[in-house]
Amino acid sequence: MGLSLMVNRQGLTADDKKRYKSIVLKRSWFLLAIGLALYSWWPGDILHFYGGYMHIAAFLLFVPKRYYLIAATAAIAIYHALLFFIPVETGWDLTSFNYTDFWTVKGFLRNTLYNGWNSLFPWIAYFLLGMWLGRLNWQNTMVTKRVFITGAVCFLLFEGLRYFAAGGMFNDAATAYIMSEYFPPYLPFMAITTSFALMAISVCIYIGYKFPANKLLASLSKIGRMTLTDYVMHITMGMVIFAILFDRLYTGYLPGSAPVPPIQILGFATAFFALSVGFSTIWLRYFKNGPLETLMRKISG
């Protein structure tokens, strides 16, 4: 949504549009570089994928908003078409979730475009949907209601489909397709997560307009302005602290030892999030942007 909100204004000249495109392209390269630098430490990195999303988005900044939905649908369709030609597990060591040939040209392209954790197809669909949402008039309360209702209806339909699948209504192949989570990101997963996002965004926007002066909401908004810095902090410093606290050897891959109990992971994540909110709030009292956000802006203009 942020890209659309950045350029969603009247009276932009051809030079203005060219400048915004240049800014977005430079930021996409910055994120790609940061993400690839982090990859050896954190193989689940999303930044280099996000750089890919932004690179494509730079060429779509000023198209009519309906094309965002068309492109998002196309991204999901392309992913499903690729499934017929390339086995989705290609390149993966599924015992450790290590991508064995990432640092080869063929492996990098396959991972980035098709079967990485957040590959361009189909995950750019979320980014494009966000760009479409950024073009909506959220000051109109009917827009908020319609987006929420659309998300709720879609969510209930696909969760209902999963309910019947779990009850044995479909064959094994169809059930596996319907019940798949995150990887592979099949259509039912994409639809459920998208519809939940529509509801969550609508609720957040409603709350923001309803309580514009709330101090807690103001603090939470600070972390949104430092997303890049906080992301890098949690996969570097956060992972190290987590490994020390729970006596684990951090490798970035699926461990052979017993996993940390979910309740302890939730407790640590909650505490680290609270610390991130506090850090972001204090930092932004003295600086306009986070450390990495400032660096990115200096590079991109």
- Reported as a pLDDT band with limits 50, 70 and 90, residue 256 is low
The answer to whether 187 and 80 are in contact (CB under 8 A) is yes
- The number of C-alpha atoms within 13 Å of 258 and in the hemisphere containing its C-beta is 4
**What does the pLDDT read at residue 238?**
92
Q: What is the mean pLDDT of residues 81-103?
A: 92
Mean pLDDT on 96-117: 94
Inform me whether the pLDDT recorded for 239 exceeds 80: yes
Mean predicted confidence (pLDDT) in 160-179: 93
* pLDDT given for residue 163 in this prediction: 94
The pLDDT value given to residue 59: 93
- Whether the per-residue pLDDT at 9 is higher than 80: the answer is no
The mean per-residue pLDDT over the stretch 175-183 comes to 93
How many residues are recorded in the chain? 301
For 98, the 3-state DSSP assignment is strand
Sign of the alpha-carbon torsion through 136, 142, 148, 152? negative
Between CA 237 and CA 142 the distance in angstroms is 43
φ and ψ at residue 98, rounded to 5 degrees: -95, 130
Q: What is the pTM of this model?
A: 0.90
pLDDT at 251: 80
Token pair belonging to 277: 């909110």
Buried b (16+ CB within 10 A) or exposed e, 27-47: bbebbbebbbebbeebbebbb
Positions of E strands within the chain? 92-93, 98-99
